[in-house]
Amino acid sequence: MCPLPYQLLFSESWWPVIYQRTIHFPSMNEVRITGFGGSLRRGSYNRMLLNSAKSLMPEGSRLEIAEISAIPLFNQDLEANPPEPVRVFKKSIKDADGVLIVTPEYNYSIPGFLKNAIDWASRPYGDSAFEGKPVAMMSAGGRLGGARAQYHLRQVFVFLNMKPVNLPEVFVMNPQTVFDGEGRLKDERVRENISELLSALVSKCRENGAMRKD
Ligand SMILES: Cc1cc2nc3c(=O)[nH]c(=O)nc-3n(C[C@H](O)[C@H](O)[C@H](O)COP(=O)(O)O)c2cc1C
Segment 19-34, tens digit of pLDDT = 444 444 455 689 999 9
Q: Work out the pLDDT band at 115, boundaries 50, 70, 90.
A: very high
Count of structural domains within the chain = 1
142 lines ligand 1 (CB under 6 A): yes
Return the axis-axis angle of helices 45-54 and 188-207, rounded to nearest 10°: 60
Residue whose CA is closest, atom 10 of ligand 1?
142
Domain membership flag for residue 9: no
Averaged confidence pLDDT in the chain: 90
Best mutation site among 39, 68, 105, 150 for ligand 1, i.e. most ligand atoms within 8 A of its Cβ?
Answer: 105
- Which ligand 1 atom is nearest residue 145's CA? 11
Residue 141 Cα to ligand 1 middle (Å):
6
Domain membership flag for residue 12: no
- Whether the CB-CB separation of 102 and 48 falls below 8 Å is answered with no
Domain membership flag for residue 15: no
Residue 201 DSSP SS3: helix
Residue 23 Cα to ligand 1 middle (Å):
47
Confidence (pLDDT) at 35:
98
Inform me whether the pLDDT recorded for 6 exceeds 50: no
- Whether the CB-CB separation of 126 and 160 falls below 8 Å is answered with no
Q: What CATH number is associated with residue 141?
A: 3.40.50.360
Domain membership flag for residue 173: yes
Domain membership flag for residue 212: no
Domain range spanning residue 63?
30-207
C-alpha count within 13 angstroms, C-beta hemisphere, residue 172: 32
Inform me whether the pLDDT recorded for 2 exceeds 50: no
Q: What average pLDDT score do residues 113-128 get?
A: 98
Residue 39 Cα to ligand 1 middle (Å):
9
Residue whose CA is closest, atom 2 of ligand 1?
106
Segment 25-71, tens digit of pLDDT = 455 689 999 999 999 999 999 999 999 999 999 999 999 999 999 99
Domain membership flag for residue 6: no
Q: What average pLDDT score do residues 123-142 get?
A: 98
Domain membership flag for residue 146: yes
